[in-house]
Structure 1
Amino acid sequence: MLRIEDCYLTGSFIKTHGVKGELVAKKNSDLLERNKLESILVDIDGGLVPFFINGINKRNHSSVKIILEDMDTEAKAKRFIGCDIYIPIKDAPDFIEDEDEIDPNILIGFTYIDEEKGELGKIEDIQDYAGNIVLVITIKGEEVLIPFADENFIDLDEENKNITMDTPDGLIDLYLQ
């Protein structure tokens, strides 16, 4: 049985589409439409349940329409609203081989490690402010925004889902004062 730690969070179901069981998913990356996936894993009450895919259609830059096998009514689909969607690491492309190609959205769920301060927390979200990518982490109850810049990048451990970066001096302290 696959564990969440062995998977990438690729999005979550946000609403139904039509009356034939189609679902709309807010995506965290382009993994859902970039790959020819046969199935996805849906987090239902803390357990990953596999579902075969009959189709994935891009709606806009942040969402896709997903048609799951045997999902043929709106009532069945409504039960999935709010559920997270995962794909196994083994089914994801080798996106980490070239750091210039990293989709930062795939880092959601990775542990952020500062070169000096050590482990700071899990990356909860990725924000894009006019092309400036920011990692969102909660430290001591405070939301902290850390720029995802090439000059700060040190290491990415895909297997253990860790990213090590050199956080700009004083940034963490600024949030925690």
Structure 2
Amino acid sequence: MKIEEAHYIGYITKTKGLKGEVQVYFEYDTPEALDLDVLFLDLNGKLVPFFVSAYRLQHNNTGNFFFDDVDHIDKAQALVKKRVYLPEEKMPEQDEEDFTYEDLEGFIVIDELHGELGEITEVNEYPQQFVATVSNKGRDILFPLNEDMIVEIDEENGVLRMRLPEGLLDIYLNP
């Protein structure tokens, strides 16, 4: 399976105990709605399946997992900081009204002043806001996604029109 065919849901934060248990931090809003029998980890750019033998979800967007064949802390330690994915077909159905900032990944960003900036390659959630990453001429441009700056979201054509604050793009475009 390729990364393009999967949905990023979180990453492994640390090991727990000596028997191979790991903690997963979910960047997906409702991990309890996910089918977590197999998780795919990004190991050197390839998605490798890890079959879940047991897990417990916590209230702080984390869960503790045991994987088949990971029965010692040394094996689990190698998985720390690896990104976790699920195949697209295993993701819960989303109502059309449930459009989120994460759904903007792949959209083309057009700023009112600077024109087309490029495609959103990543959307990350931080405590105070969502931040989009756009690849532009070999550089990553990061900017917050908030209602004050979004002019229009054209879902049909995959276009996000923005009014970015003056000077923000100068940091990236004029080093």
Larger radius of gyration: 2
Residues 11-50 of structure 1: pairs in structure 2 closer than 5 A: 11-30=10-29, 32-50=31-49
Find the counterpart in structure 2 of residue 136 from structure 1. 132
2 CA distance for matches of 1:67 and 1:145?
Answer: 36
Amino acid at match of 1:66: F
2 CA distance for matches of 1:55 and 1:67?
Answer: 5
Superposed CA offset, 1:7-64 (max 9, x none)? 0111111100111111011211045432233211111111111111123322232322
1:98 is the counterpart of 2:91: no
Find the counterpart in structure 1 of residue 173 from structure 2. none
* C-alpha contact (below 8 Å) 2:9/2:85 kept by paired residues: yes
1:114 is the counterpart of 2:112: no
1:3 is the counterpart of 2:2: yes
Against the structure 1 CA distance between its residues 103 and 145, is the aligned structure 2 distance closer, same or farther, given a 3 Å change threshold? closer
Find the counterpart in structure 2 of residue 160 from structure 1. none
Shift of 1:142: 4.2
Identity of aligned residues (%): 19
2 CA distance for matches of 1:41 and 1:16?
Answer: 17
1:154 is the counterpart of 2:154: yes
Against the structure 1 CA distance between its residues 37 and 26, is the aligned structure 2 distance closer, same or farther, given a 3 Å change threshold? closer
Amino acid at match of 2:154: I
2 CA distance for matches of 1:66 and 1:24?
Answer: 6
1:164 is the counterpart of 2:159: yes
1 CA distance for matches of 2:153 and 2:60?
Answer: 26
Amino acid at match of 2:16: H
2 CA distance for matches of 1:142 and 1:151?
Answer: 18
Q: Where does the alignment leave 5 or more consecutive residues of structure 1 unmatched?
A: 158-162
* C-alpha contact (below 8 Å) 1:135/1:148 kept by paired residues: no
RMSD: 2.8
Against the structure 1 CA distance between its residues 62 and 148, is the aligned structure 2 distance closer, same or farther, given a 3 Å change threshold? farther
Q: Number of residues paired by the alignment?
A: 162
* C-alpha contact (below 8 Å) 1:122/1:137 kept by paired residues: yes
Against the structure 1 CA distance between its residues 46 and 166, is the aligned structure 2 distance closer, same or farther, given a 3 Å change threshold? same
SS in 1 for 2:36: coil
* C-alpha contact (below 8 Å) 2:17/2:73 kept by paired residues: yes
Q: Where does the alignment leave 5 or more consecutive residues of structure 2 unmatched?
A: 171-175
Find the counterpart in structure 2 of residue 89 from structure 1. 88
TM-score w.r.t. structure 2 length? 0.76
TM-score w.r.t. structure 1 length? 0.75
Against the structure 1 CA distance between its residues 90 and 172, is the aligned structure 2 distance closer, same or farther, given a 3 Å change threshold? farther
1:175 is the counterpart of 2:168: yes
